[in-house]
Structure 1
Amino acid sequence: MLPTGKVPPEKLREIVFKHLGVQGERVLIKSGVGVDAAAVEFGDKVLVASTDPITGAEKNIGFYAVNVNANDVATFGAKPKWFLVSVLLPENADEALLKEIMTDIDKSAKELGIAIIGGHTEVTPGLKKPIVVGTMLGEVKKEKLVYAGNAKPGDVIILTKGAGIEGTAIIASEREEELVKVFGKEFVERAKAFLRKISVVKEALIANEIGVNAMHDPTEGGIANGLHEMADASGLGFKVYYEKIPIAEETKKICGYFNLDPLALISSGALLISTSRENAEKILAALEKEGIVASIIGEFLGDKEKRVIVKEDKEEELKQPLSDELWKVV
């Protein structure tokens, strides 16, 4: 039986990636483990396309759909421009739910300068809650195209913002009443406000302009899974330092209360950047100028079998999560 959440990498290789139709003309980058978008050549520009469903949240689902898909496109160095969306509603849904979702999608798209160009809307038998599936399209000059599978041995790993951003916002919203009793209203409102940190479009485009080898936004499975996905895509290992990974106080307390690992909690809003040591300081300075917190958390290694985290000067294996911690509480 498959676990809840993303299908494990070995099953993707065994089942999914063996059934992808023809090779495709002008395809520069296609599906792979840790590769969240595809890239198709159009002259001196490249079309970048990504698709993702929102299944772990009900509140703000339209916001998540736009931003999560925009993030995937931006990690290829592309500016998100066009969005297609399928809205699947549960049986007995009313017009108010559809209006709420579409208003959310519209507002989020306008904030990022994105046009909604198509999609599908239906009431779906068997659904218990709405699901929104988005496909984002963007473009980038061919020479500025990057992707998660191009990290190099010796590259430093930069992480923006911190671990568990999206998970913190979702849990605070979905379990609000319970958490208010434990931590108070002000704390929960701060945690819910993590929603506004979810876009990585700005930092991705800034970093790419300076020069990166690879970027990836860690979604399901959090920072731990994101590191493994980049390492898988690039054929590398990594070494990171726990104390250098920013974890907000709200995330720590919510994870402590529900006994969750913050490094395996869905982390849209964070961006993993693989770059040369020469460019790392330039990127950190540029992000700081824009008010974006970022830290060097480790480096990629040539030995693809070595994937470790250092805690209190002790090196241990950083295992790839089988499932996101979010599914334990929502």
Structure 2
Amino acid sequence: MGGGIKMANEAGKITKAYFEKYILPKTGAKRNEVIVPPKSGVDTGVIRIAPGRVMAVTTDPFSIHPSLGWHKAAWFAFHIIASDLCTSGLPPEYLSVDLNLPVSIKDMEIKKMWDTVHEECRKYGVAVVTGHTARYEGTNYPMVGGATMIGTGNEDEYITSAMSRPGDAVIITKTVAIQAAAMLTAIFPQYIEKELGTGDFKKLDSMFYSMTTVDESMEAAKFGLRSRGITSMHDATEGGVLGALYEIADASGNGILIEKEKLPLWPEVSRVSELFGINPYRSISEGTLLMTVVPDKADAFVKRLKAKGTESVIAGYMKEENFGKKIEDSGMLKDIEPPGHDDYWKAINYGVSRRLK
């Protein structure tokens, strides 16, 4: 979500201001069992389904990029939605998928795509419980439908990005702009290898299967939630890491202080960002998980993630609300602005308009 109400037919999410003015006030009937209703920067809704039991729900587009190949495209579509659900701390259990496919898709292509969804569901214990599959005129890639994922658990076992507290450490995994870098490489491989060289290309190409936060989120749940360790989780999608940090502070009603030099930016990601003229700190980063952690447990959790193969850093701390949302850059404190238009879409348009391959 971004800062202004202006829409201007820009690709990507509507702005935070537009969402809060026109969408959020009109969310249907009010029901007492909805304990986490829609809110900007919060990945899941939560419903009480029985005394002491809750259900976390999230919805996302079902996004398919055929240029990736059907396996990679479907893998990523599954992990986009599963990553959101798992930020609740609850395991993914049920999936509903609506496929509004273009008429050009062949039966065997649907099979290849669905085989991968089935494989990922089995891997994580997810049952597909309902859905809709059809071809329609006027539909096109990548947004070929939508999906809803559900997980259940005890009421004291879920978290949201609104639960961070002043003093909590802010942990960030992997690198900023991991999705922007990996997807640009997958879509324009020849151009990137030519401009950056084979070494960088191979590193960037290998990032594809890092565009998920499912395993890290599930590891966080095992480590302990709320007072036991992790107080909130949020994945850095559109608006990038800085946008996600703003959303955590905004959703929880807290301030935040981040040290820019501690934000993880892998060298090859920096170079591909420069090549396409995008700000890596403001570019889409599915696969980067932001967590707030009880401060005396933060170092132990960083070590635990490393033992599981995931690099992470402590990049700052949550503050009282009146501190504001700040980033320290070269000794100066600057405001962290709300997420706006994501540079990733500009980069995609640049590549497509120049017919890069």
Q: Output the TM-score relative to the length of structure 1.
A: 0.93
1:134 aligns with 147
1:250 aligns with 268
Structure 1 vs Structure 2 CA RMSD: 1.9
2:87 aligns with 75
User: 1:101-155: CA deviations, max 9, x gaps?
Assistant: 2233223323323222222222233233242422111122211111101111121
Are residues 287 and 299 of structure 1, via their aligned partners in 2, closer, same or farther at CA, if it must alter by over 3 Å? same
Residue 47 in 1 paired to residue 55 in 2? yes
Residue 173 in 1 paired to residue 180 in 2? no
Counterpart amino acid of residue 47 in structure 1: M
Match of 1:224 among 233, 237, 242: 242
1:6 aligns with 13
Asked whether the equivalents of residues 197 and 269 of structure 1 are also in contact (C-alpha less than 8 Å), the reply is yes
Are residues 175 and 219 of structure 1, via their aligned partners in 2, closer, same or farther at CA, if it must alter by over 3 Å? same
Q: Distance in 2 between matches of 1:193 and 1:149?
A: 33
Q: Greater shift after overlay, 298-307 or 275-284? A: 298-307
1:100 aligns with 112
Counterpart amino acid of residue 166 in structure 1: Q
Asked whether the equivalents of residues 162 and 246 of structure 1 are also in contact (C-alpha less than 8 Å), the reply is yes
Are residues 40 and 303 of structure 1, via their aligned partners in 2, closer, same or farther at CA, if it must alter by over 3 Å? closer
Residue 239 in 1 paired to residue 257 in 2? yes
1:174 deviates by 0.9
Aligned ranges for residues 1-330 of structure 1 at < 5 Å? 2=7, 3-43=10-50, 44-55=52-63, 57-58=65-66, 59=68, 60-131=72-143, 132-208=145-221, 209-210=223-224, 211-303=229-321, 306-330=324-348
User: 1:188-222: CA deviations, max 9, x gaps?
Assistant: 23312212112222222332333222111111111
Q: Distance in 2 between matches of 1:197 and 1:11?
A: 32
2:353 aligns with none
Q: Distance in 1 between matches of 2:99 and 2:323?
A: 41
> Between the two proteins, what is the percent identity of the paired residues?
25
Asked whether the equivalents of residues 164 and 252 of structure 2 are also in contact (C-alpha less than 8 Å), the reply is yes
Secondary structure (helix, strand or coil) at the match of 1:309 reads strand
Q: Output the TM-score relative to the length of structure 2.
A: 0.86
2:351 aligns with none
Q: Distance in 1 between matches of 2:115 and 2:269?
A: 28
Asked whether the equivalents of residues 88 and 130 of structure 1 are also in contact (C-alpha less than 8 Å), the reply is no
Are residues 142 and 6 of structure 1, via their aligned partners in 2, closer, same or farther at CA, if it must alter by over 3 Å? same
Could you list the runs of 5+ residues in structure 2 that have no partner in the other structure?
1-5, 349-357
Counterpart amino acid of residue 167 in structure 1: A
Q: Greater shift after overlay, 90-99 or 80-89? A: 90-99
Q: Distance in 1 between matches of 2:11 and 2:35?
A: 31
Counterpart amino acid of residue 79 in structure 1: P
1:54 deviates by 4.6
